[in-house]
Amino acid sequence: MHSSHNFDVIILGAGASGLMCAATAAQRGRRVLVLEKANKPGKKILMSGGGRCNFTNYLVEADNFISTNPHFCKAALKRYTQWDFIGLVERYAIEYEERKHSQLFCRHSARDILNMLLDECAQAGVEIRTHCEITEVQALDSQHLRYRVAGRQGQQALRLDCQSLVVASGALSIPTLGGSGIGYEIAAQFGLAVTPRRAGLVPFMFSDGMKAVCERLSGLALEVRASCNGQSFTENMLFTHRGISGPAILQISSYWQPGDVLSIDLLPGLDALPWLREAKQQQGRQLLKTLLAQKLGRALAGELQQLWWPEAAQQPLAEFTDRQLQTIASQLNQWQLKPSATEGYRTAEVTLGGVDTDAISSKTMEARDRPGLYFVGEVLDVSGHLGGFNFQWAWSSGYSAGLAV
């Protein structure tokens, strides 16, 4: 007979990875309890992808993930692929659509994905308790065959035991959506290393003259190639009143370290120097600003003129020296920008770094030296690119643990 304080599996966090793990384990006949501190499960799922949840991507490769150990994610991604998740979505007749870069979004609402996961959990007999904040975890014996979790359910103290404990508490991003550091504290308590963490998929801010430029251009988007530390992404960049954002910038932010310079190609796919030289020959009477406005719009061309050739603002193109054109061409193809900081966890989509995967089994997500203790989802040192990869990691890692707990 079961006691209401004893479970086969307790999962900390009813987010993407926790719900997937819970359904998978319960379908195997395990008695599963999910504890969630918020008033409802899956808040991040509901907010994701602008309310439409970019739930996976047709093209999932290990290269889409950032981790100290780039091989770690492979086994789980193979065990539960994007096709497995798409199959589940189709079984529930959820309408979805492909957007650029093979990204898959719900056609109607992210709620469809959350309802599907909750349905899977309910059908398999998972118990989900909200308003339960876990503050402490304890191994009840030296072999780690039982764990005890403690915390509060509303005003009441909570104390529950289990055989397998799954930490699915997510990471630091967006505290109002449940971001918390409890997973790192539990890892440290059991002697697992945690790699340094920082905000990823996050906009940049400036404190120099660029701040005012961005403010004036706020709302303008254009396609660029953003590069930093050997990585490049060609996508839209958006000027904001604080700095720069948009998919190209969010992607490259995950490769940026404080102090690094970003290189922005404002004319991706176009070598600016031959283009400028030809324009000088053929349309020498026009202003450089007018020429650039054709490709970049008047507002940005005007700002670039202020930054790069203010003294030659009234000079026709024909009078630009080759040297001047060379300098401007290289700025167009490699605009060097030095952000002062990112916007931080307040707006970051993910947390880079986390529980060191060296101590975790890539097949089961179990801590190697701590039988019964599992880590899944974003709490681990695995972060995806923008494009549905973070959810795919949550599904794959949650599923892998769900088969083992």
Ligand X SMILES: Cc1cc2nc3c(=O)[nH]c(=O)nc-3n(C[C@H](O)[C@H](O)[C@H](O)COP(=O)(O)OP(=O)(O)OC[C@H]3O[C@@H](n4cnc5c(N)ncnc54)[C@H](O)[C@@H]3O)c2cc1C
Structure tokens at 64: 């889409």
Phi-psi region of 249 (alpha: psi -120 to 50; beta: other; left: phi over 0): alpha
List of residues contacting ligand X (CB under 6 A):
12-18, 35-38, 43-44, 47-49, 53-54, 132-134, 168-170, 173-174, 177-178, 180, 182, 349-350, 377-379, 388-391, 394
Smaller CB distance to ligand X: residue 26 or 53?
A: 53
- Taking the complex as a whole, how short is the minimal distance between the CB of residue 362 and ligand X, in angstroms? 17
Q: How many CB atoms lie within 10 A of CB 97?
A: 10
Q: Is 44 within 8 Å of 403 (Cβ atoms)? A: no
Distance between CA atoms of residues 311 and 342, nearest Å: 33
Smaller CB distance to ligand X: residue 158 or 217?
A: 158
Distance between CA atoms of residues 191 and 211, nearest Å: 43
Smaller CB distance to ligand X: residue 55 or 320?
A: 55
Q: How does DSSP classify residue 268? A: T
* 92 Cβ contact list (under 8 Å, min separation 6): 112, 116, 119
- Taking the complex as a whole, how short is the minimal distance between the CB of residue 105 and ligand X, in angstroms? 8
Smaller CB distance to ligand X: residue 37 or 225?
A: 37
Structure tokens at 213: 């430029």
Smaller CB distance to ligand X: residue 136 or 260?
A: 136
Q: Is 217 within 8 Å of 300 (Cβ atoms)? A: yes
- Taking the complex as a whole, how short is the minimal distance between the CB of residue 366 and ligand X, in angstroms? 16
- Taking the complex as a whole, how short is the minimal distance between the CB of residue 202 and ligand X, in angstroms? 10
Distance between CA atoms of residues 342 and 337, nearest Å: 13
- Taking the complex as a whole, how short is the minimal distance between the CB of residue 233 and ligand X, in angstroms? 16
- Taking the complex as a whole, how short is the minimal distance between the CB of residue 3 and ligand X, in angstroms? 21
Smaller CB distance to ligand X: residue 30 or 43?
A: 43
Q: How does DSSP classify residue 261? A: P
Would strands 103-106 and 96-99 be described as parallel, antiparallel, or unpaired?
A: antiparallel
Smaller CB distance to ligand X: residue 11 or 296?
A: 11
Half-sphere exposure (CA, 13 Å, Cβ side) for 114? 18
- Taking the complex as a whole, how short is the minimal distance between the CB of residue 322 and ligand X, in angstroms? 47
Smaller CB distance to ligand X: residue 110 or 276?
A: 110
- Taking the complex as a whole, how short is the minimal distance between the CB of residue 397 and ligand X, in angstroms? 8
- Taking the complex as a whole, how short is the minimal distance between the CB of residue 66 and ligand X, in angstroms? 12
Smaller CB distance to ligand X: residue 134 or 355?
A: 134
**H-assigned helices in 232-350:** 247-253, 272-282, 288-296, 298-308, 322-333
Q: How does DSSP classify residue 102? A: G
Q: How does DSSP classify residue 174? A: -
Q: How does DSSP classify residue 260? A: P
- Taking the complex as a whole, how short is the minimal distance between the CB of residue 293 and ligand X, in angstroms? 34
Q: Is 181 within 8 Å of 378 (Cβ atoms)? A: no
Smaller CB distance to ligand X: residue 265 or 402?
A: 402
Q: Is 104 within 8 Å of 86 (Cβ atoms)? A: yes
**H-assigned helices in 111-204:** 111-124, 182-189
